[in-house]
């Protein structure tokens, strides 16, 4: 009889040891705001980088006032300014949009063919167990061609994203080594995030980077981190509250 009394304690101890309920889940896409709000010109991020980095070591986004492209890789957060310069950042005035996670590859593939953006993503799509969940995507190695862009900081009153993107600066590189960091999101995410692939690039020497417009892979390693959990942190400010998001359409990768 006495022995049985210990069973609940034993079970509780085992659950604690093996992490039933209270372990922080690392396979979570943590997202700040929505791509639709960003497209509507809501560039005032109230979430600081200090908070964002508590939710991931890998991901993409942008900065207060659309001040360049954000890329996080191996726990280092980088800002790519409009002139293409890349700098690690530890503090930022605010993050209006970002998608991060703690990256742990579930699947790794070697691709040793010269595949375009469309060809490589089609190839990866065939290997996915499902298109209905998220994947953090890391593709590293040699790129025969890389076309990337960054955006200039905007000032109030903010223009919509399609207007702001008319001022983007585009950079092209050939035979460059580096890493693409980003997400593949399901089609049903088109109003919250970018449906399909959304990738940013940083060179191996961490000097060049930006939002990926096009590329041709050389010999690369593709790593996918299956992500079934999603946490959305919405802005708590009047600008976001007053946006009319009910009527606006979805965003796909070609529009950003």
Task: Give min distance, CB of 200 to Zn ion, in A.
Answer: 6
Q: Both tokens of residue 165?
A: 């993107």
Residue 208 within binding range of Zn ion, rule CB under 5 A: no
Task: Give min distance, CB of 149 to Zn ion, in A.
Answer: 9
User: Nearer Cβ to Zn ion, position 236 or 254?
Assistant: 254
Strand 97-101 versus strand 58-62 pairing type: antiparallel
Task: Give min distance, CB of 211 to Zn ion, in A.
Answer: 4
Site string for Zn ion, 209-228 (x = CB under 5 A): --x-----------------
User: Nearer Cβ to Zn ion, position 81 or 211?
Assistant: 211
Stretch that binds Zn ion, among 74-82, 166-174, 207-215, 238-246 (CB under 5 A): 207-215
User: Nearer Cβ to Zn ion, position 165 or 248?
Assistant: 165
Burial 49-71 (b: 16+ CB within 10 A, else e): beebbebbbbbbbbbbbbbbbbb
DSSP three-state, residue 147: strand
Contacts with Zn ion by CB under 5 A: the residue count is 1
Residue 198 contacts residue 185 (beta carbons within 8 Å): yes
**Residue in the structure block whose two tokens are 């980077």:** 209
Task: Give min distance, CB of 232 to Zn ion, in A.
Answer: 18
d(CA 138, CA 226): 12
**Residue in the structure block whose two tokens are 């049903």:** 188
User: Nearer Cβ to Zn ion, position 181 or 220?
Assistant: 181
Report the 10 Å Cβ neighbour count for 229: 13
Task: Give min distance, CB of 70 to Zn ion, in A.
Answer: 8
Return residues touching Zn ion (CB under 5 A).
Answer: 211
């Amino acid at each position: 009889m006495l022995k049985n009394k210990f069973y609940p304690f034993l079970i509780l101890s085992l659950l604690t040891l093996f992490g039933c309920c209270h372990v922080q889940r690392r396979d979570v896409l943590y997202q700040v705001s929505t791509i639709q709000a960003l497209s509507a010109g809501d560039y005032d991020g109230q979430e600081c980088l200090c908070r964002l980095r508590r939710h991931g070591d890998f991901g993409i986004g942008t900065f207060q006032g659309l001040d360049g492209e954000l890329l996080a890789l191996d726990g280092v957060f980088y800002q790519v300014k409009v002139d293409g310069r890349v700098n690690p950042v530890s503090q930022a005035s605010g993050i209006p949009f970002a998608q991060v996670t703690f990256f742990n590859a579930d699947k790794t593939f070697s691709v040793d063919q010269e595949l375009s953006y469309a060809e490589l993503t089609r190839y990866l799509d065939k290997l996915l167990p499902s298109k209905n969940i998220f994947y953090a995507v890391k593709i590293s190695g040699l790129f025969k061609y890389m076309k990337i862009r960054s955006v200039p900081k905007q000032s109030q009153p903010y223009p919509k994203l399609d207007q702001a993107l008319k001022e983007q600066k585009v950079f092209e590189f050939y035979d460059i080594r580096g890493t693409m960091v980003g997400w593949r999101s399901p089609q049903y995410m088109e109003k919250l995030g970018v449906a399909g692939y959304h990738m940013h690039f940083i060179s191996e020497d961490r000097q060049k980077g930006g939002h990926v417009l096009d590329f041709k892979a050389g010999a690369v390693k593709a790593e996918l981190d299956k992500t079934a959990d999603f946490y959305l942190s919405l802005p708590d400010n009047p600008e976001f509250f007053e946006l009319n998001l009910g009527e606006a359409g979805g965003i796909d990768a070609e529009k950003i």
